[in-house]
């Protein structure tokens, strides 16, 4: 019996693993931290000076506000209407003013007709959809305004295209145009019949002074309404004496 020789495979020794150097990714330079905004105390310290400058200018315009108040009271009591337009914070100021007139400011008086043009949201969105944002106030001026009415336009920059378009439409329709703006000169101040331009550097300060102007205008209107209320009975009494 022949036995075949058994062939044994020699195991090939495994090669030692290669040592691959690991290169770390380049380290990016640290990103500079954003400048830290001032806290409340620092902001107030800086803001107060700007606000006071704006208020001082408004005080100098006190006679103009009294004139606006007398004119508005006479017109509104005679059946005219105040239209008010603005964007963003100025829209809030516009609605604040109309609320004071339709409701009341500090004392009781007859309600006065005033419309904030941004507040009718269905009409506003329809106009923007069909005619574009520049027409959003101008078309409402054409709908609601009549000769003898007043359009009060508010803009901190004095450059808002939709507010400027409303002023142009109002002038075409014989509606008087007044403006509350930031520092002049600016396009809105130039476009309107009369203007109070607040000389404050920051938008926030201009908006705050505009609110004070709104309240001062309400005070002037109320004073005129009360004076007319008192004078009328006196005239009636004189006529029947």
Is 7 a residue whose pLDDT tops 50?
no
Collapsing DSSP to helix, strand or coil, 203 comes out as helix
Out of 2.40.170.20, 3.40.50.10490, 3.60.70.12, 3.40.630.40, the CATH code matching 50-231 is: 3.40.50.10490
Cα(177)–Cα(169) distance, rounded to whole angstroms? 10
Is 1 a residue whose pLDDT tops 70?
no
Is 225 a residue whose pLDDT tops 60?
yes
pLDDT for 152 equals 98
Helices (H), 176-202: 187-191
Q: List pLDDT tens digits, range 137-195.
A: 999 999 999 999 999 999 999 999 999 999 999 999 999 999 999 999 999 999 999 99
* 9-18, 23-32, 65-74, 116-125: the lowest-pLDDT one: 9-18
Q: CB-based contacts of 143: which residues, under 8 Å, 6+ apart?
A: none
pLDDT for 232 equals 74
Closest CA to 76 of 105, 116, 114: 114
Is 52 a residue whose pLDDT tops 90?
yes
Q: CB-based contacts of 236: which residues, under 8 Å, 6+ apart?
A: none
Cα(105)–Cα(226) distance, rounded to whole angstroms? 13
DSSP state of 119: S
Report the 10 Å Cβ neighbour count for 215.
16
Closest CA to 55 of 197, 182, 153, 198: 198
Q: Give the predicted TM-score (pTM) of the model.
A: 0.81
Report the 10 Å Cβ neighbour count for 86.
29
Reported in sequence order, the residue ranges of the chain that DSSP labels E, i.e. its strands, are 82-85, 114-116, 150-155, 176-181, 194-197
Under the banding of pLDDT at 50, 70 and 90, the label for residue 236 is: low
Under the banding of pLDDT at 50, 70 and 90, the label for residue 38 is: confident
């Amino acid at each position: 019996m022949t036995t075949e020789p058994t062939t044994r495979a020699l195991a090939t020794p495994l090669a030692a693993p290669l040592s691959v150097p690991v290169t770390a990714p380049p380290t990016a330079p640290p990103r500079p931290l954003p400048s830290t905004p001032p806290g409340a105390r620092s902001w107030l310290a800086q803001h107060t000076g700007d606000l006071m400058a704006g208020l001082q200018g408004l005080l100098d315009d006190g006679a103009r506000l009294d004139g606006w108040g007398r004119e508005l009271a006479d017109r509104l009591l005679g059946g005219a209407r105040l239209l008010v337009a603005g964007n963003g914070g100025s829209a809030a100021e516009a609605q604040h003013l109309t609320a004071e007139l339709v409701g009341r400011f500090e004392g009781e008086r007859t309600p006065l007709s005033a419309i904030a043009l941004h507040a009718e949201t269905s009409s506003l969105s329809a106009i923007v959809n069909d005619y574009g944002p520049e027409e959003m106030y101008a078309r409402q001026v054409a709908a609601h305004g009549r000769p003898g009415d007043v359009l009060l336009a508010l803009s901190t920059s004095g450059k808002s295209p939709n507010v400027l378009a409303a002023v142009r439409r109002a002038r075409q329709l014989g509606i008087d145009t007044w403006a509350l703006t930031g520092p002049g000169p600016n396009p809105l101040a130039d476009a309107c019949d009369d203007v109070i331009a607040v000389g404050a550097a920051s938008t926030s300060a201009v908006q705050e002074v505009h609110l004070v102007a709104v309240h001062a205008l309400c005070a002037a209107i109320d004073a005129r309404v009360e004076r007319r209320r008192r004078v009328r009975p006196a005239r009636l009494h004189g006529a029947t004496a």
